[in-house]
Structure 1
Amino acid sequence: MNELSLHILDILGNSVRAGAGEVALSITESRAENIYRMVFRDNGKGMSPEMLADVFNPWVTSRKQRRVGLGLSLLKQSAELCGGDLVISSVANEGTTVCVEFEFAHLDRPVAGDIAGTLVITAASAPEIAFLYSHTTDTGHYQFSSVEVMDALDGVSLTNPSIMRAVEEMIRENLREIGAEGDVSAMLQLLRN
């Protein structure tokens, strides 16, 4: 996976499958501090100490259909290759926290990819779950709550394609305003400097 948004999709999917009622993703990207950090938190079923000890083994997974779980091990490897790390903490029946960090300026750090699209697809596929997203850059901060959006829609489903497009564009616009790396115009600005 060469885009962080694909890893985000994988980890959010893990939280959905774990029966979480609330899933939070916090991204901090700072050129000044040379860090790109993603923190995922959910209140799903969590992991036993035995499962947690084997979580980076690609042949260990809780899924029944596909018996291979490469996502976390690939993300950990990518983070380590880019001067960072991936740490997981989990308590059975309480939830899981995944923290992954990269050196922001590392040449091999995966690009952000389509974070807005990933969030909207995930939230629309599991409208019963509260998705919280925050993104902080050197120039600003943005927060998104699927619960607030659903309340504002007053009964219109987030699964409606026109609503999905509008929410996705709202997220993109807010990410552009804070200069988030996933925004193409922000990337072009970086290349010009």
Structure 2
Amino acid sequence: MNELSLYVLDILGNSVRAGARKVSLTITESRRENVYRMVFEDDGKGMSPELLEEVFSPWVTTRKERRIGLGLSLLKQGAQQCGGDLVIDSAPGEGTTVTVAFEYAHLDRPVAGDIAGSIVMTAASAPEIDFFYTHTTDVGVYRFNTVEVNEALGGVSMTNPSIMRAVQEMIRENLDEISAGMDERLVFHNDMI
């Protein structure tokens, strides 16, 4: 996968399958600190110590329909190749936290892609879950959560395609305001020359 948004979709999907009722994604991208970090937290069923030991093997997955789980192992490998790492903290009945970091300016760091689309698609597919998303850049902070969106919609479902498009556009506009997902790696390198 060459876009971080596809990993976001995969990890949020893991939280949904784990029975989470609350899921949060916090993204910090800082050119000044040379970091692009994503932290996923859920209150799902968590992982046993045995599963946690093997979770990065591509042959280990809890899914029944497809017995290969490449997402986490590929993301960890990609993060390490870009001067970062991926760490998972989990315990049965306590949920899971996945933290992945990259060097912001690393030329091999995947581009952000459509983070807004991944958030909205997951939220619409699991309306019973409360999703919280915070994105911080050197310019500012944007916060989104489905609790507020559902209150504002007054009973209209986020599964409605028109609503999904409107919410995606709202997120994208707010991310643009804080310069989120801007691929400034080349600018960063030019500044160093």
Residue in structure 2 matched with residue 171 of structure 1 by the alignment: 171
Q: Secondary structure at the match of 1:59?
A: coil
Gaps of 5+ in 2: none
Deviations 1:163-188 (A, max 9, x none): 1111000000000000001xxxx448
User: Per-residue deviation at 1:72?
Assistant: 0.2
The amino acid that maps onto 1:36 is Y
Alpha-carbon distance in structure 2 between the residues aligned to 1:139 and 1:173: 14
Give the 3 Å change call, closer, same or farther, for CA 49–163 of structure 1 in structure 2. Answer: same
Report SS of the residue matched to 1:106.
coil
Partner in structure 2 of residue 63 of structure 1: 63
Give 2:26's aligned residue: 26
1:106 to 2:106 alignment: yes
Change (3 A) 1:70 1:188: closer
Number of the residue aligned with 1:73? 73
Question: 2:44 aligns to what SS in structure 1?
Answer: coil
CA RMSD of aligned residues (A): 1.5
Corresponding residue number in structure 2 for 1:157:
157
Aligned to 1:97: 97
| C-alpha distance 4-70 of structure 1, shift in aligned 2 (>3 A) | same
- Cα offset for 1:64? 1.1
Tell me what 1:6 maps to.
Answer: 6
- TM (norm. structure 1) is 0.95
Whole-angstrom distance in 2 between the partners of 1:69 and 1:187: 29
Q: What is the CA-CA distance between 1:140 and the residue it aligns to? A: 0.2
SS in 1 for 2:72: helix
Per-residue Cα deviation, 1:51-88 (whole angstroms, up to 9, x for no partner): 00101011111111111110000000000000000000
The TM-score with structure 2 as length reference comes to 0.95
Q: Which runs of 5+ in 1 are unaligned?
A: none
Q: 1:101 to 1:187 in 2, by over 3 A?
A: closer
Q: For 2:158, what is the secondary structure of its paired residue?
A: coil
Work out the CA distance in 1 between the residues paired with 2:180 and 2:14: 25
The residue aligned with 1:147 is: 147
> Identity of paired residues, percent?
72
**2:28 is aligned with 1:44:** no
